[in-house]
Amino acid sequence: MLIKQDIPTRLSILDGFFNFNKMSELKIAIQKSGRLSENSHKLLEECGIKFSNGANVLKTKAKNFPVELLFLRDDDIPQYVEQRVADIGILGENMVFEKNKDVQILEKLGFAQCRLSLAIPKEDTYTGPGYFNNKKLATSYPKLLSDYLEKNKIKAEIEEISGSVEIAPGIGLADAVCDIVSSGSTLMTNGLREVETILNSQAVIIGNRNLGQNKKKILDSLLFRIRAVRHAKENKYILLNAPESSIKEICRILPGMKSPTILPLVEKGWCSLHSVVKEDQFWERIDQLKAAGAEGILVIPIEKMIL
């Protein structure tokens, strides 16, 4: 039964829902095919957004959230976001800084980690950035490279090429390279050695600076979901049994979201304790917990985490 005080609250929830449905979609540019595509799709799926993916489509609308996906080359995303062909885009920071368009970075996404580095033939002696004076450098990142050279007062020639940069010294096209490195194996295979890192990069969301109120509302809702997904990945749920005498020490090791949940066990003098532990502190904390007397430790992935 609906009681009187409920009516305004219920109407305002429905009102919000209907307005949301009437909004024009937030256009999200993602890479059509390449190293960012799979993780970009996965992130949106983990946010509960469903798409009907036809083969070779250039854009598609979500079935259950007011967004539309545009599939583009990553190089074109900054310009399209600046011009509002897309409202936001997902791409590597390396490309954002190289293209230098008037867009803002809204969120770091933690995938596609890599670095833009300078590499030289492995048999050469490296003498510091001055090594590059009067050398010819092959790159697909002429802006980032020329900024670096200028900052370090190096006079070098830039040979801009669009792909397979690492083979340039081997075929006599350049003396050294400035390229994206991840594991370093491509450099090694081509007889090159990484000597300087110009930029560390990961995938980010960029946005147009002048989004209207409705689009901002959708964006806030999307960013809220993305943060919940990312927090969940960065944390694990932990359950353990411990003697009551160890609880104080264990609470110190596991501060949790606010404070751990502690429940008594049937066995006298023992408790069950539930908390959250950061993924990157996980092993270190487990060792500390065992030393403090914890037993039967269970560690469970978290699907979403709303702070």
Quick count: other Cβ atoms within 10 Å of Cβ 206? 24
35 lies in the binding site for Zn ion (CB under 5 A)? no
73 lies in the binding site for ligand PRT (CB under 6 A)? yes
Q: What is the DSSP letter of 56?
A: T
Residue whose CB is nearest to ligand PRT in the complex, by number = 92
Residue type, 297: I
Nearer to Zn ion, 32 or 193 (CB): 32
Q: 241 and 270 in contact (C-beta within 8 Å)?
A: yes
Q: Which of the stretches 18-26, 53-61, 91-99, 264-272 binds ligand PRT when contact is defined by CB under 6 A?
A: 91-99
| Span 65-84, contacts to Zn ion by CB under 5 A | 74-75
95 lies in the binding site for ligand PRT (CB under 6 A)? yes
Minimum distance from residue 75 beta carbon to Zn ion (Å): 4
Minimum distance from residue 112 beta carbon to ligand PRT (Å): 4
Nearer to ligand PRT, 113 or 127 (CB): 113
| Span 163-222, contacts to ligand PRT by CB under 6 A | 179-186, 201
Look at residue 168 and give its three-state secondary structure: coil
Nearer to Zn ion, 132 or 141 (CB): 141
Nearer to Zn ion, 74 or 166 (CB): 74
In 3D space, the residue among 243, 250, 227 whose CA is nearest the CA of residue 307 turns out to be 227
Instruction: Put the strands of the sheet holding 235-243 in their side by side order.
Output: 261-264, 270-278, 235-243, 295-301
186 binds, among ligand PRT, Zn ion, none (CB under 5 to 8 A by kind): ligand PRT
Minimum distance from residue 182 beta carbon to Zn ion (Å): 15
Which listed residue (34, 110, 191, 243) binds ligand PRT by CB under 6 A? Answer: 34
Q: Quick one: 87 exposed, middle or buried, by C-beta within 10 A (0-12, 13-18, 19+)?
A: buried
Which listed residue (25, 46, 68, 75) binds ligand PRT by CB under 6 A? Answer: 75
Q: What is the DSSP letter of 32?
A: S
**What is the spatial distance between Cα 205 and Cα 107, in angstroms, rounded to a whole number?**
5
Nearer to ligand PRT, 108 or 290 (CB): 108
Instruction: Put the strands of the sheet holding 114-121 in their side by side order.
Output: 157-160, 136-139, 176-181, 114-121, 192-201
End-to-end CA distance of the chain: 32
**What is the spatial distance between Cα 230 and Cα 47, in angstroms, rounded to a whole number?**
10
Nearer to ligand PRT, 36 or 218 (CB): 36
Nearer to ligand PRT, 127 or 200 (CB): 200
Contacts of 26 (CB under 8 A, 6+ apart): 66, 67, 68, 87, 88, 215, 218, 219, 222
Which listed residue (78, 92, 207, 260) binds ligand PRT by CB under 6 A? Answer: 92
Residues near Zn ion, by CB under 5 A: 74-75
Residues near ligand PRT, by CB under 6 A: 31, 34-36, 73-75, 92, 94-95, 112, 114, 179-186, 201
